[in-house]
Amino acid sequence: MDWKVVFITGAANGIGLDMVRGFCKSGYKVKMIDINQDLLIQRERELKEKGFHVSIDFCDVTDEHSVKEKIESTIDKYGKIDVLVNNAGIQHVALIEDFSTQKFKQLLDVMVTGAFITTKHVFPGMKKNNFGRIINMSSINGLIGFAGKSAYNSAKHGLIGLTKVAALEGANFGITANAICPGYIDTDMVRGQLEDLAKTRNISLHQVLEQIIYPLVPQKRLIPVSEVTQLALYLASEKTSSITGQSMVIDGGYTVQ
Ligand SMILES: NC(=O)c1ccc[n+]([C@@H]2O[C@H](COP(=O)([O-])OP(=O)(O)OC[C@H]3O[C@@H](n4cnc5c(N)ncnc54)[C@H](O)[C@@H]3O)[C@@H](O)[C@H]2O)c1
C-alpha cells in the first residue's frame, strides 16, 4: 500500500476544503468529514467534476459513536489512516457576563472534545502502523487573549494542550502531533465577519481592513488559505518526523509585536 490516507474534519468549507484539494493534489486518499451534510454533498460533486476523488461522511465530531464508526469505515475502505486533521471549528463572540454557558460548552465540545475523540480512535491504528501525523487547527487565539472570545480562546488554548499530550504519547510510535495557529486567513467566513463589521460601523470593507485589521498585522494582508494547506502538507510529510508538540504560527506577524 503506497498511498497515504488523510481524515479531515470540518472539510466542507474554508481551510478544511482547501486542504482537501491540497492533499488530493499530493496523491493522498482523502476522507472529508463535516456536520453540514448538504454542503458536504455539494462539495463532493464540485470536487469530482474537477477530477478530485474524495469520499465524504456526514458526522458531528462530538458524537463519539459516529466518529468511531467513520474512522473504522475509512480504515476498512483505505486500509489505514496516516494523517488526522482536526479542523472543525465554530465561533461565538460575547462578553463573559453575557456568554451563554451552553454556548461556551458547545465551543469546547467541538474544538477540544471533538479533537480528543478523533485522536483517541485513530491512535490504535497509527500505533500499529508505527506512523501517524496529527494536525490540530488551533489559532493565534490559542496563544493570546481576545476580548469577547472566552470560549474560542479557551478551546484553542486547550487544543494546544491536547496536541502536546498526543505528541508525548505518540513519540515512541512514529506519531507526531502539531498545532497550526493561523491569524486572519482569507476565507469566506472571515470576509463575511469583516463585512458584518463594516455594516455595524457603517464603513466599507476596505476601511475595515485599513483601519481595524491591517494595523494589527505587520504584513498588512489577509493570509492566503493555500499557505495554511502548505504548512499542513509539510507537517504531514514523512520527512518532518522530528517536529512534534509544536504550535506553528502563520499570522503575517500579528503575534510578533
Ligand atoms: N479562517 C481563519 O482566519 C481562522 C483563523 C484561525 C483558526 N481558524 C480555525 O480553522 C478551522 C477552519 O476555519 P474556517 O475559517 O475554514 O471555518 P469554516 O466555518 O469555513 O469551516 C468550518 C467547518 O467545520 C464544520 N463543523 C462545525 N462544527 C462541526 C462539528 N461539530 N462536526 C463536524 N464538522 C463541524 C462546519 O460545518 C464547516 O464546514 C477552525 O477550527 C477555525 O477555528 C480559522
pLDDT tens for the chain, residues 1 to 257: 688 999 999 999 999 999 999 999 999 999 999 999 999 999 999 999 999 989 999 999 999 999 999 999 999 999 999 999 999 999 999 999 999 999 999 999 999 999 999 999 999 999 999 999 999 999 999 999 999 999 999 999 999 999 999 999 999 999 999 999 999 999 988 998 899 999 999 999 999 999 999 999 999 999 999 999 999 999 999 999 999 999 999 999 999 98
Please name the amino acid found at residue 43: R
Instruction: Please tell me the predicted confidence (pLDDT) of residue 77.
Output: 96
234 is catalytic: no
d(CA 172, ligand 1 centre) in Å: 31
Other CB atoms within 10 Å distance of the CB of residue 204: 12
Contact present, 255 and 249 (Cβ < 8 Å)? yes
Q: How far is CA 57 from the centre of its chain?
A: 17
Interhelix angle for 64-78 vs 114-129, to 10°? 30
Instruction: Please tell me the predicted confidence (pLDDT) of residue 53.
Output: 86
What is the Cα–Cα distance from 60 to 33, expressed in whole angstroms?
8
Domains of the chain: 5-184+224-250 (3.40.50.720), 187-222 (no CATH)
The overall longest dimension of the chain from CA atoms, in Å, is: 57
What is the Cα–Cα distance from 205 to 254, expressed in whole angstroms?
20
d(CA 111, ligand 1 centre) in Å: 9
Of residues 28, 78, 152, 184, which has the active-site annotation?
A: 152
Pocket residue to mutate for ligand 1, from 32, 35, 65, 111, most atoms within 8 A of Cβ: 35
Other CB atoms within 10 Å distance of the CB of residue 60: 16
Other CB atoms within 10 Å distance of the CB of residue 44: 19
Instruction: Please tell me the predicted confidence (pLDDT) of residue 184.
Output: 96
Please name the amino acid found at residue 47: L
Residue nearest to atom 40 of ligand 1 (CA): 89
